[in-house]
Amino acid sequence: MSTTSETTRAPSALRLALNPDRRKILYGFIAAIALFVIGDILKPGFASSSGIQQILEVSSFVGLVAAGQTFVILIGGIDLSVPWVLNGAAILMVAVANGSDSNLAIGIAVGVAFGVVCGVVNGLGISLLGVPAVVMTLGMNGIIQGLSLGVTHGLTCGGCTKPPPTALVNAMTGKTLGIDTSLLIWLVVIVIVTFTLSFTTFGRRVYSVGNSQRVSHLAGVNVKLVTVALYGLSGLFAAIAGIALAGFGGGATIGMGDPYLFQSIAAVVIGGTYILGGRGSYLGTVAGAIVLTTLVSVLLAQNAPDYARDIVYGVVILVILLIYGRQRGET
């Protein structure tokens, strides 16, 4: 795994194009395709175009949340506040929109702003107060959970039980420009995030901070600003996912964000992003999200019980990590 020996040898073009990090992304997509094939063998019609589209649609919500998670994990952080930022944004959007299409824009704006604010507060606590990311985001999750439940009286307030505006529901359950809306949103996010990480100064700073905060600081990178921005982005993506999910599922419910904590972290890690930061990409996370969702769908198609799904989840993550998530040996 040592990169120095590979660079000292004359690298072939293929070697260069397929550095270890890119290879992981490739493996991810190959695994996803393999899972589709297995699913189709076990249950014919699994990999039909509508079947694939359905699975991708479900993956898109994981993928959206995992976009933010990728950002913070790239600097060696983690965002445990994702479940309730997502949930809180969904509740806010539904309550502010109050079931009418004319209020939808304000509702979405308020929901998204809420997500960004939560994320920024996380970032400030971590970079200025020096609270460990695990503790800060864990606390934030509780804070938003308590506020959401308390203020809405357990989601029984007038506005929050209303269905989301029909315009949003129609958009999220229908198609825009010929493809499912959630997929379209995801595609846009994939393009923007990948471009940001690969081709902008900000992206380079993210990797730089992830590799060494101290060196980045000495090189003139405003480490605190980058940290705050990334947690803000994580809040933003969780909020977007929450709003999209509320439209897709026809309302905001208590606990709707809970599954996304485990899945977003798993998607990032399966996608080959290094948990201590500095290495990884969003395309890998995309592959991770698809692999994870497809795997669950295969199991569901086999009528596997809940407990089997949990066990397989865990085993798959560990096996994938054993294959390529290992740290270099201590020598």
- Which residues are near other proteins by CB under 8 A? 75-78, 80, 125-126, 129-136, 138-147, 149-150, 153-154, 212-214, 262, 265-266, 269, 275-277, 305-315, 317-318, 321-322, 325-330
- Please say which residue, 127 or 182, places its beta carbon nearer to other proteins: 127
- Please say which residue, 54 or 211, places its beta carbon nearer to other proteins: 211
- Please say which residue, 181 or 216, places its beta carbon nearer to other proteins: 216
In Å, how far are 35, 133, 266, 297, 298 from 40, measured between CA atoms?
8, 41, 24, 11, 9
CB-CB neighbours of 241 under 10 Å: 34
Q: How near is the Cβ of 255 to other proteins at its closest, in Å?
A: 12
β-bridge partners, 176 = 179
- Please say which residue, 56 or 160, places its beta carbon nearer to other proteins: 160
- Please say which residue, 70 or 181, places its beta carbon nearer to other proteins: 70
Q: How near is the Cβ of 14 to other proteins at its closest, in Å?
A: 28
- Tell me the three state secondary structure of residue 99: coil
Q: How near is the Cβ of 300 to other proteins at its closest, in Å?
A: 15
- Is residue 256 within 8 A of residue 135, CB to CB? The reply is no
Q: How near is the Cβ of 117 to other proteins at its closest, in Å?
A: 15
Distance CA 40, CA 230 (A): 39
Encoding tokens for residue 79? 């965002």
- Please say which residue, 76 or 242, places its beta carbon nearer to other proteins: 76
Residue by residue, DSSP assigns 249-285 as: HTS--TTTTTHHHHHHHHHHHHTT--TTSS---HHHH
Distance CA 36, CA 58 (A): 15
Q: How near is the Cβ of 3 to other proteins at its closest, in Å?
A: 17
Q: How near is the Cβ of 35 to other proteins at its closest, in Å?
A: 18
Residue with tokens 């060696």: 76
